Amino acid sequence: MIGNINDGYKRWDCCRYMVTVGFMLLSASLALSGCRSSEPKDKEPLPVKDFVFEQSDQFAQAHASTIARAEDGVFVVAWFGGTHEKHDDVGIWISRGMPGNWSPPRELAKVREDPHWNPVLFSAPDGDMMLFFKVGEEIPDWETWVTSSPNGGATWSEPRELVPGDRGGRGPVKNKPIVLSNGDWLAPASHEDERWKVFVDRSRDGGQSWKASDYVPIDTSRFEGKGAIQPTLWESEPGKVHMLVRTSDGVIGRSDSDDYGKTWSPLYKTSLPNPNSGIDLARLADGTLILAYNPDDENWGARAPLRLALSEDNGKTWDYTYDVETGTDEDEFSYPSIISWGDTAAVVYTWQRERVAFWSGTARQLRKLATED
C-alpha cells in the first residue's frame, strides 16, 4: 500500500512542472479553435490532472472536496481537513488558483471545536460564491452553516446557520444546488437516522430562506440496507428534474420529478454500480451528462477506480466511460465534485485521504479516451 502511494507521489511530482504548461496549452487551444478549424482533431491537448496541494503538515487527512469556478476562470476548491474524519479539530479548508498554481491551503471556517463536514461550493446567479458546510459530533445532529464571497473566493463573510435551530442537515448535503428554469434554487439533501432518506431543499429568494420537500419515496423491500443519501441533481427541460443517489444496495438509485422537484417518483435502481460512496454529476450545455463515481457493486466496497461516464440520452445509458484513477481495492479515490461550463468539466476528489486531486477535460476528450481504453 505504501509503495503504491509513494509511486503515485513520484509520478505526480516528477511531472508537476508540466501541468501549468499543459493547462495553458489547453486554454490556448480552446480559445483559438475557431482560427484553427483545419488542424487535425488528434492534436487536441490531453486533459489536465493535478494536485491542489502537496501532502500537508497542517492536517493529516483531507476529504470531501468541492469545486467552483469564478467568473474570471479561477477555480476555488474546499475540503474538510484534520486528524481524521469526525475529530474535533476538523475544519473547512480552501485553496484558489489554476492547475500548477494553487494558493497554499488555509482554514476558512471553524465555528467551534466540533467536527466540520462536507463543504459544498455553489456559484450563485448574481456572481456571488457560496460555501455550505456541516457542523456537529453526530450526523443526525448536524447544523448547516453558510458563508459567501463577492469576489470569487478571495474574501468571505462571517459564517451563519442556514436554518437556525434546525438539525440533521438542511441545504446541500454533499453536492451543489442547481438553479431551475423558473429561478428556484434546489439543493440536494438527505438525512441519516435509522433509515437514510433523500429530499430537496428549495429557495425562492436567492438562498435567504429554505423549504424542505417531503422525502423521496423508497420501497425498503427493493433496496437493502439503510436506504439512500447524497443526491446529485439536474434539470433536463423546464420542470423536468432528476436525481441520482448513493445507496446502501450496491447500485446508484434514481428518482424523477415533473413539477420542478415538488414531488418525486419512487426511487428506482439504475444499472450503475455504487459501493455506498459519494457521486456527483454535471450537465453540459448540449445536454450531455458527466457522472463521477466508484464502479463497485458491493456495499462499503472499493473506492477505486474513480470513473467518469457520459450519457447522451438523459441518463438512460452510459456509453462512454473512463477511469481517471485506477488503483487497487485498498486505494481510495472518492467523493468527487464536478462542475461544467460549455463543453468542459472539472472534477476534484479525495486522493488516499491525503490530498485533493483535480482533473479537467472536454466531453470530446472523454469520448476519445473511452474509445482508446
Q: pTM for the complete prediction?
A: 0.89
The packing angle between helices 16-32 and 2-14, to 10°, is: 50
Whether residues 65 and 165 share a domain: the answer is yes
Domain annotation covers residue 249:
yes
**Greatest Cα-to-Cα distance within the chain, rounded to the nearest angstrom:** 60
Asked if residue 43 belongs to a domain, the reply is no
- Do 160 and 95 sit in the same domain of this protein? yes
At residue 35, does pLDDT exceed 90? no
Tell whether 267 and 314 lie within a shared domain. Answer: no
CB 149 within 8 A of CB 109: no
| Same domain assignment for residues 215 and 311 | no
Name the residue range of residue 260's domain.
Answer: 176-273
Which domain-ending residue is among 151, 170, 189?
Answer: 170
pLDDT at position 32? 38
Q: Indicate whether 207 and 157 sit together in one domain.
A: no
- Same-domain status, 222 and 262: yes
Question: Both 182 and 235 in a single domain?
Answer: yes
Phi, psi of 372 (to 5 degrees): -65, -35
Q: Which of 114, 119, 136 is nearest to 65 (CA)?
A: 119
Q: Is the pLDDT of residue 18 over 90?
A: no
Q: Which of 170, 197, 215 is the last residue of a domain?
A: 170
* pLDDT tier at 36, thresholds 50, 70, 90: very low
Q: Residue for cell digits 470569487?
A: 152
Q: Confirm whether 121 is domain-assigned.
A: yes
| Residue tagged 473511452 (cell numbers) | 370
* C-alpha grid cell, residue 81: 481537513
Residue 305 has pLDDT above 90, yes or no: yes
Please write the tens of the pLDDT for every residue from 121-138: 999 999 999 999 999 999
**Which pLDDT value is given to residue 42?**
52
Are 333 and 260 found together in one domain?
Answer: no
Task: Measure the CA–CA gap between 361 and 340, rounded to whole angstroms.
Answer: 10
Tell me the residue type at 256: D
| Whole-number pLDDT of residue 45 | 73
Task: Give yes or no: residues 162 and 195 share one domain.
Answer: no
153 and 191 assigned to the same domain: no
Domain match, 231 and 268 both: yes
- Split into its structural domains, the chain has a count of 3
Q: Are residue 248 and residue 339 in the same domain, yes or no?
A: no
